[in-house]
Structure 1
């Protein structure tokens, strides 16, 4: 795990010292060392969090003739099998690092066949110096971020949005379309970022850049999760896939633990991990408010599996003080309140381990959300012969298909819900008055909508929608930013490609049936956990954010809005909406929307100051 940064075809303003300054902005992502390689007008660097091959895994890593160089953020979980295959083919590997298989794998297979073979969470840059080509690639589900931008022929890429933006000649303006998406979803989806012209690679995407010109040669999706044929599994088959995923995610040369909430997903992971690592460290957060606290269940699971359990108690009110700190660490605006407790838990866990497993992806894969229920019910009530294929995307409107008595308007229905049933953060009328600009029906949406239009199973369609948006751009972004803020590597076993591809193909009744969710996963859990844990409903972290922003933090909140100088945001109208919500003289927007507004205005202020700091450091570099 680390942070990477690179400059291609520098215009002379950025050199080796500037690259070193940019690299140093990612110190929390990699406190164990730094590496940098510069040749003529192109270079790449990394900050290292040492997890595998502690002594020999320094990056960049080169081929034997120094012609190929690579930097990577993340882990390749099947690197041991790839090492054996490459050694058998005659390659001489100089380290025990997982990153080195990228260099020799590229030499042996080429970029396309290499990407097909990888099981991991990664964002990497591979520079083929003899060919004058540099490849960027991001893992299949989007566990690791990778941003890039091009200005006047110079390309800057890296693990952090603000680091990439700081490397550009001028600060990019806020993207009007991205802002509209944020007001609707509380995150920016697709390949957009909040900055116009700064993009991110999508999950399962790669691109090839000509180093001499900085021109993009090609950009392609090397992996895309598809519906596939329906496949029914027995509990033992699913259990074996999860065991394999957990085993591979435990590989490390440093201590590994598990985030244990006491819910089904994390409890099952902890139980299976404890079989591989007896006495494994588990970490749970308790709240002083019983309504928010599920730490008793975490204790029960930890005792049952024989874990070394760490229990941290936080007063709910203490989270108010964390808001500025968390906003400063999130790197890009994500208005998800769960970042606050995750940040605190990662901070506490980092004092004991360097790697933590967590349960991201289980709800999307196994049907764990309550808003999926109508889709499962609709499927159960229809004879298979009556299910028709959805029509394809249409200009300006997306697929004109009834969904829960609404119609798709791109990603959203007339009912202001996404195709998966996820409700919009702010009503369309408020979004349109709050900021100029519109959310385009084209661009990143089109391939997604075209794929979803071909999915006959409404529950599977909802899951695929969330996997391609909510999971990658909120949950995994949140996990990466909050763990890396404390130099902790997060790993998500449920996102092992073989497990993901199989789970998506499960029939609806093995996901939701008879009022129960995650049906097959619960069957697996019954063999490994106490009955009470298996039967527990989903709880999640709940904070009194609505009360805070309407009462204790209200005036401070309003001052943040008044200080917002972004031209695309009507701060006066925003203040009216917030005050009307508090006084009940207008439509209530709710805690989720209020927090999203707070995050955006404060993040924009933080970003402006942080970019100024980094650019000042670049100017002062020798």
Structure 2
């Protein structure tokens, strides 16, 4: 994890870049680099964690950089053919393949490259790592990992689109697309092929967890007690005899707390729980919205739990955690998907969910973990899991009786408590107890008149008084209309 920034214009002022990086210091508070350049109109920089920098020995693959103009700022851990690439690897690949070198990279990244004169930026296909851009009144262009680094500089701020690269000569270019789910001939869930494919899925998920976990470190997992995070914990239990640390948060007696405890006892993890009150939720709400950069009601509600569980893991000295993010989009985990009338309709809906991940679930996980300088890895979003999920028959994802993520549950049948593995999904913010608690208090604070007046004033059809309440906080930090337009409002 890192925070990356860039300036391209008539003059790239170093003091402006320092201010931009200061706004991103939570993404890497231990090290700040502004890369030297002999050209006055291009400047790039990043802030990092020391342990992230120490993992890659740049001296192993040096580049020819006599004038020290060639530099690359990187957020993420790009892979090629299973190998994690260093900064110098990426520069060499760019020099050999040209602007479309990012086609060869897997997993999550955002990067900015310069040779001292030209500027190039790119973002991965799903937008696992954030990136924004904007222009000032002199038409200089700026890039930054989070919108907050651009708010005092740019007149208009936009999301850098996932699956695109930017070059000075050609502007924004799409280099890849969200993969398509295949429409399969329906097969019975109880068929031989079904069980064989569920066993294969289990093998691949264990491999994905192994690739995400750094051997030598005691693993930490966000455990909501739902299927996705429980599967990640069960996969890890197949890999190590080391203590597995699980972290759970929620309002006392919430479903998340109860189910996470049951999974922890079943797997024998070292379990840490934080219960919080409604007052605690309101206390952290401004911080959550500031770091999240959204006011969408569902996203904020689920982010409160993510923020607090990230804080809990960091306070226990963890640098890396694992999450179950991505399973719902790949295996049909959302309730509204059950309304799809055909395989084609379901596949189209799943592709839409993948396209919205970058400013939905991935934004929540990235911002809430980075708010505490924590690196979160998501095994479900490894390329081989995604490619496998694309070919799974729709009836194996959502069964005829409405059981979501059927084949994922089958893959770990016997590895988790039956009542946890086979219970129906609750959204993270709901299972933790957040949604009803927030809604009840806010509804009593906002009058109908204020609610309807501000719908008209801001031109936003707020989904509820609760969303309007979150918008009021968001608007204090991000007052411009272009900043509001970056917010993805779930199910609107």
TM-score when normalising by structure 2: 0.84
Aligned residue in 1 for 2:75: 73
Aligned residue in 1 for 2:246: 282
CA deviation after TM superposition for structure 1 residue 527, in Å: 4.2
CA deviation after TM superposition for structure 1 residue 498, in Å: 2.2
- The answer (yes or no) to whether the contact 1:260–1:282 under 8 Å persists in 2 is yes
Give the CA RMSD over aligned residues: 3.0
Match of 1:473 among 338, 352, 359: 359
SS of 1:294's equivalent in the other structure is: helix
Matched, 1:264 2:227: yes
Post-superposition CA distance 1:313-367 (Å, at most 9, x none) = 1124421222222222223444321111211111111112111111111111101
For 1:530 and 1:111, how far apart are their aligned partners in 2?
Answer: 49
CA deviation after TM superposition for structure 1 residue 548, in Å: 1.0
Matches within 5 A, 1:242-253: 242-251=205-214
For 1:115 and 1:32, how far apart are their aligned partners in 2?
Answer: 28
CA deviation after TM superposition for structure 1 residue 253, in Å: 7.6
Aligned residue in 1 for 2:106: 119
SS of 2:127's equivalent in the other structure is: coil
SS of 1:326's equivalent in the other structure is: helix
Match of 2:20 among 22, 28, 41: 22
Aligned residue in 2 for 1:520: 407
For 2:70 and 2:62, how far apart are their aligned partners in 1?
Answer: 5
For 2:135 and 2:336, how far apart are their aligned partners in 1?
Answer: 40
CA deviation after TM superposition for structure 1 residue 44, in Å: 0.7
For 2:263 and 2:315, how far apart are their aligned partners in 1?
Answer: 22
Post-superposition CA distance 1:434-469 (Å, at most 9, x none) = xxxxxxxxxxxxxxxxxxxxxx71111111112212
SS of 1:124's equivalent in the other structure is: strand
Aligned residue in 2 for 1:310: 272
Matched, 1:351 2:312: no
Distance 1:126 1:558, change over 3 A: farther
Post-superposition CA distance 1:216-263 (Å, at most 9, x none) = 544223243223464976112212221222122113786541101111
CA deviation after TM superposition for structure 1 residue 78, in Å: 5.1
Distance 1:82 1:5, change over 3 A: closer
Aligned residue in 2 for 1:483: 369
SS of 2:380's equivalent in the other structure is: helix
For 1:328 and 1:319, how far apart are their aligned partners in 2?
Answer: 14
Match of 1:374 among 339, 343, 349: 339
- The answer (yes or no) to whether the contact 1:77–1:248 under 8 Å persists in 2 is no
- Give 5+ residue unaligned stretches, structure 2: 186-192, 481-492
Distance 1:240 1:558, change over 3 A: farther
For 1:301 and 1:473, how far apart are their aligned partners in 2?
Answer: 30
- The answer (yes or no) to whether the contact 1:52–1:253 under 8 Å persists in 2 is no
- The answer (yes or no) to whether the contact 2:7–2:42 under 8 Å persists in 1 is yes
- The answer (yes or no) to whether the contact 2:451–2:468 under 8 Å persists in 1 is no
Aligned residue in 2 for 1:532: 419
Distance 1:69 1:257, change over 3 A: same
SS of 2:243's equivalent in the other structure is: coil
Match of 1:206 among 144, 162, 165: 165
Aligned residue in 2 for 1:433: none
- Give 5+ residue unaligned stretches, structure 1: 84-97, 173-196, 211-215, 380-455, 578-588, 610-622
Aligned residue in 1 for 2:64: 64
TM-score when normalising by structure 1: 0.67
SS of 1:165's equivalent in the other structure is: coil
SS of 1:513's equivalent in the other structure is: coil
For 1:549 and 1:49, how far apart are their aligned partners in 2?
Answer: 38
Aligned residues: 454
- The answer (yes or no) to whether the contact 2:321–2:377 under 8 Å persists in 1 is yes
Determine which structure has more spread, i.e. the larger CA radius of gyration: 1
Aligned residue in 2 for 1:425: none
CA deviation after TM superposition for structure 1 residue 163, in Å: 0.9
